[in-house]
Amino acid sequence: MSSNHLRNTDPMRASARCGARTRNGGPCRAPAVRCKTRCRMHGGARRSGAPQGNGNARKHGLFARDAIAEQQQVRLLLGEAQKLLRELK
Protein backbone atom coordinates (compact mmCIF):
# COMPACT_ATOMS: atom_id res chain seq x y z
CA MET A 1 0.00 0.00 0.00
CA SER A 2 2.78 2.47 0.84
CA SER A 3 4.59 1.82 -2.44
CA ASN A 4 1.38 2.73 -4.31
CA HIS A 5 1.21 5.99 -2.37
CA LEU A 6 4.82 6.86 -3.24
CA ARG A 7 4.17 6.13 -6.90
CA ASN A 8 1.18 8.50 -6.96
CA THR A 9 3.02 11.41 -5.30
CA ASP A 10 5.82 11.72 -7.85
CA PRO A 11 3.97 14.24 -10.09
CA MET A 12 3.17 16.32 -7.02
CA ARG A 13 6.76 16.29 -5.80
CA ALA A 14 8.07 17.12 -9.28
CA SER A 15 5.74 20.08 -9.86
CA ALA A 16 7.03 23.65 -9.84
CA ARG A 17 7.02 25.39 -6.46
CA CYS A 18 5.68 28.79 -5.53
CA GLY A 19 8.22 31.61 -5.90
CA ALA A 20 7.00 33.59 -2.87
CA ARG A 21 8.94 34.05 0.34
CA THR A 22 7.43 33.18 3.71
CA ARG A 23 7.54 35.39 6.80
CA ASN A 24 10.69 33.70 8.02
CA GLY A 25 12.42 34.39 4.69
CA GLY A 26 12.33 30.85 3.34
CA PRO A 27 10.66 29.86 0.09
CA CYS A 28 7.02 28.80 0.03
CA ARG A 29 6.90 25.02 -0.41
CA ALA A 30 3.40 24.84 -1.87
CA PRO A 31 3.03 23.84 -5.52
CA ALA A 32 2.46 26.66 -7.99
CA VAL A 33 -0.89 26.93 -9.76
CA ARG A 34 -0.81 25.57 -13.32
CA CYS A 35 0.72 28.11 -15.75
CA LYS A 36 1.57 30.50 -12.87
CA THR A 37 4.59 31.10 -10.65
CA ARG A 38 2.64 31.43 -7.36
CA CYS A 39 0.56 29.05 -5.28
CA ARG A 40 -3.13 29.66 -4.58
CA MET A 41 -2.29 31.37 -1.29
CA HIS A 42 0.22 33.81 -2.76
CA GLY A 43 -1.69 35.16 -5.74
CA GLY A 44 -1.98 32.31 -8.21
CA ALA A 45 -5.73 31.89 -7.73
CA ARG A 46 -8.25 33.64 -9.95
CA ARG A 47 -9.35 37.07 -8.78
CA SER A 48 -6.69 37.17 -6.07
CA GLY A 49 -5.00 40.40 -5.02
CA ALA A 50 -6.32 43.85 -4.33
CA PRO A 51 -9.58 44.89 -5.98
CA GLN A 52 -9.44 47.22 -8.97
CA GLY A 53 -9.63 50.86 -7.94
CA ASN A 54 -8.64 50.04 -4.38
CA GLY A 55 -9.35 53.16 -2.30
CA ASN A 56 -7.16 51.93 0.55
CA ALA A 57 -4.08 52.51 -1.57
CA ARG A 58 -4.61 56.28 -1.28
CA LYS A 59 -4.87 56.44 2.52
CA HIS A 60 -1.16 56.85 3.18
CA GLY A 61 -1.13 60.52 2.14
CA LEU A 62 1.12 60.31 -0.91
CA PHE A 63 -1.73 61.58 -3.11
CA ALA A 64 -3.20 63.98 -0.53
CA ARG A 65 -1.29 67.03 -1.82
CA ASP A 66 -2.60 66.49 -5.34
CA ALA A 67 -6.16 65.94 -4.11
CA ILE A 68 -6.10 69.12 -2.00
CA ALA A 69 -4.76 71.16 -4.91
CA GLU A 70 -7.46 69.76 -7.19
CA GLN A 71 -10.19 70.59 -4.66
CA GLN A 72 -8.90 74.16 -4.40
CA GLN A 73 -9.00 74.54 -8.18
CA VAL A 74 -12.57 73.25 -8.28
CA ARG A 75 -13.62 75.67 -5.51
CA LEU A 76 -12.03 78.59 -7.36
CA LEU A 77 -13.75 77.62 -10.58
CA LEU A 78 -17.13 77.28 -8.85
CA GLY A 79 -16.64 80.63 -7.12
CA GLU A 80 -15.88 82.33 -10.43
CA ALA A 81 -18.92 80.70 -12.04
CA GLN A 82 -21.19 81.89 -9.22
CA LYS A 83 -19.75 85.39 -9.44
CA LEU A 84 -20.38 85.45 -13.20
CA LEU A 85 -23.97 84.25 -12.71
CA ARG A 86 -24.59 86.99 -10.14
CA GLU A 87 -23.24 89.61 -12.56
CA LEU A 88 -25.49 88.36 -15.37
CA LYS A 89 -28.66 88.75 -13.25
12-52: per-residue pLDDT in tens?
A: 788 889 988 888 899 999 988 888 888 888 887 877 766 67
pLDDT of residue 89: 81
What percent of the chain stands above pLDDT 90?
Answer: 25
What is the reported pTM?
0.43
User: What residues contact residue 15 under an 8 Å CB cut-off, 6+ apart?
Assistant: 31, 32
Whether residue 67 contacts residue 59, with contact meaning beta carbons closer than 8 Å, is answered with: no
What percent of the chain stands above pLDDT 70?
Answer: 81
Cβ–Cβ contacts within 10 Å for residue 87, how many?
7
* Residue 25 burial (10 A CB sphere; 0-12, 13-18, 19+): exposed
